[in-house]
Structure 1
Amino acid sequence: MIALDPRTTVVAGDWHGNTPWAAAAISHAGMSGARTILHLGDYGFTFEARFVDAVEQALSVHDMQLLFVRGNHDDTGYLEKLDRDREGCGIVSPRVRHLRDGLRLALGDEIAVALGGAASIDRSGRLAGVSWWPDEITSQAAIEQALADGPAQIVMAHDCPAGVDLALDPRFGAYFEDKDPGVLDYCEENRLRLWGVATELRPRLWLHGHYHRLSTGSIDQDDGRETAVIGLDCDGTSMERNLVWLEQTT
């Protein structure tokens, strides 16, 4: 199992293959003492060579590594073809690894599970296999595996479970529902799947991206405990909204 020091680990929201932003975010984290970035998906989009090379170079300057979960805007075909290391991670470059859905990490004394995937509300305006991938949502097999592997204190996901108020503008959803009837149910299906994970695993913390906003929420568990839910903002906003130190989430 991969073991990380939470004191030198930074969590990042969506970068969308944005090379200048990625390089700046890595530099910002590295100059503050980070050695690992845990990225919550929508990381590399189509993984163009310019982006992959620039990230590798920026990480090498600060002797860092980056581990990412799969977002809905990460090319699943590319990820499936990657060579894997002994932990089962996909090797993008020497310092960058893809955390397959269900893979677990040790973060200090806690266990974290990676659970990528989400639904694209704008799928009707994208091209299958090029800018939208039909297998984008979190698979039922990955969910079953995550549950079968036992307790975890942290979930590193791209999507947010159902039941957490994201305070989204209803006009945004209505616009895409009008263009693609049923897309809101499609999006909610993924969130409901993740709600099942959250209520069965009962982690103390759920981290996600996807919604392009910094947000906090919670899930009340039936045993009286609470799962804190933190969503991170995306590229083009600010480092304070896009990055958070793992220790600050406790």
Structure 2
Amino acid sequence: MGDLHGDIEHALQAFKTLADRGVHVIVQLGDWGVLWPGRNWQIDLNKISRALARHQIAMYFLDGNHDWHPKILKYPVDPDGIRWITANIAQLPRAYRTQIGGRFTLATLGGANSIDRELRKEGISWWPEEQITEGDLRRLGTERADVLVGHEAPLMDEPDLDRRARDLGFSTDDIRYATESRVMFRRAVLQTRPRLTLGGHYHQFHDQVLTVPGAAYPTRVVVLDTNGKNRVNLTILNTATLGLEFLYRNGAPVVPDTHQPERTDDGRPGS
């Protein structure tokens, strides 16, 4: 699941859609937003937890940039390396690793930089803990991971992103700050050489192939859209093959676009 931003209606419909397809584990890719200052988050949390229980689903979320980091970090990490918020909702800390499908390694690296940081208030709607750090990359390590999930993405159409940001009134410093986390996530991809990365953050759907130096396989880069009925916010990961099925929240399938060109690790079109 891509960005949720505390949208309970979206979550409840998505849970039913995924349960109808036999899904029992959801990984939400940051900007979960259910815990948030100034809102009655305990009621929302209970509502989501009860719905998950009805569908026999567990939800694991990553931290994005629009998440209440100090509150999340107050929950202790259990011996398995997971922060449980309720009995069926947990946060996956950065650099967490696990096995999926019996033979694939999944690694996590939450975090991203808010381009609208200057419009927010520190401690109320923005927290410096959003940033991916050198320590995060050290903990992630250089051992290969088949799947790397995060809030960020290693590449996007950067000139188009920058142009859109300038059109929206963001300064050169704002854009530079936002780019820094994408660079950090790209370093994580170079370290782990995954077959697949999954992220959100950009409020658009993106599916492309990246060539990573030294990797045995090309890396498929998938960015899921934000919450909303006409958004490609859901995908089902086949843990036996690493294949993906994209869905709208009502369960309608997504018709794939023409395959996008392969690119090199610096974002340039590949050969």
Matched residue, 1:135: 129
Change (3 A) 1:40 1:131: same
Distance 1:139 1:173 in 2: 24
Q: Distance in 2 between matches of 1:140 and 1:249?
A: 31
1:156 to 113, 133, 149: 149
Residue of structure 2 in register with 1:184 after alignment: 175
Residue 20 of structure 1 is matched in structure 2 by: 9
Displacement of 1:63: 0.9
User: 1:249 — aligned with what?
Assistant: 244
Partner of residue 234, structure 1:
226
Change in 2 beyond 3 A, CA 1:233/1:127: same
Check whether the contact 1:155–1:203 (CA below 8 A) recurs between aligned residues: yes
Aligned to 1:34: 23
CA distance in 2, matches of 1:186, 1:80: 23
- 1:81 matched to which residue of 2? 74
Letter in 2 for 1:134: P
TM-score by length of 1: 0.87
Question: What's the CA shift for 1:58?
Answer: 0.8
CA contact (8 A) 1:18 1:51 kept: no
CA contact (8 A) 2:35 2:45 kept: no
Structure 1: how far apart are the matches of 2:127 and 2:223? 23
- The one-letter code sitting in structure 2 at the alignment partner of 1:136 is E
Partner secondary structure for residue 66 of structure 1:
strand
User: RMSD value over aligned CA atoms?
Assistant: 1.9
- Structure 1 residue 167: deviation in Å? 7.6
Q: Deviations over 1:75-127 (max 9, x none)?
A: 11011101332212111111000000000121111001010000111111111
1:69 to 35, 51, 62: 62
1:43 paired residue among 17, 24, 32: 32
The DSSP-based 3-state class of the residue aligned with 2:108 is strand
Classify 1:211/1:70 alpha carbon distance in 2 versus 1 (closer, same or farther; 3 Å). same
1:225: which partner in 2? 217
Q: Secondary structure at the match of 1:210?
A: coil
SS at match of 2:203: coil
- Residues of 2 paired with 1:63 and 1:238: CA distance? 26
- State the TM-score, normalized to the length of structure 2: 0.81
Secondary structure at 2:30's aligned position in 1? coil
Determine whether 1:124 maps to 2:118.
Answer: yes
Q: Give 3-state SS (helix, strand or coil) of 1:130's partner.
A: coil
1:53 corresponding residue in structure 2: 46
Between the aligned partners of 1:221 and 1:180, the Cα distance in structure 2 is 31
Contact 1:23–1:54 (CA under 8 A) maintained in structure 2: no
For 2:89, the equivalent position in structure 1 comes to 96
> For 1:165, which of 157, 162, 178 is the aligned residue?
157
Whose helix fraction is larger, Structure 1's or Structure 2's? 1
Q: How many residues align?
A: 235
Q: How far 1:197 sits from its partner (Å)?
A: 1.4
Write the distance in 2 (CA, Å) between the matches of 1:167 and 1:66.
Answer: 35
SS of residue in 2 equivalent to 1:93: coil
Structure 2: gaps of 5 or more residues: 246-271
Counterpart AA for 1:74:
D
The yes-or-no answer on 1:144 pairing with 2:138 is yes
CA distance in 2, matches of 1:222, 1:88: 30
Q: Match of 1:83, SS?
A: coil
Q: Distance in 1 between matches of 2:7 and 2:31?
A: 10
**Structure 1 contact 39–69 (Cα < 8 Å) conserved:** yes
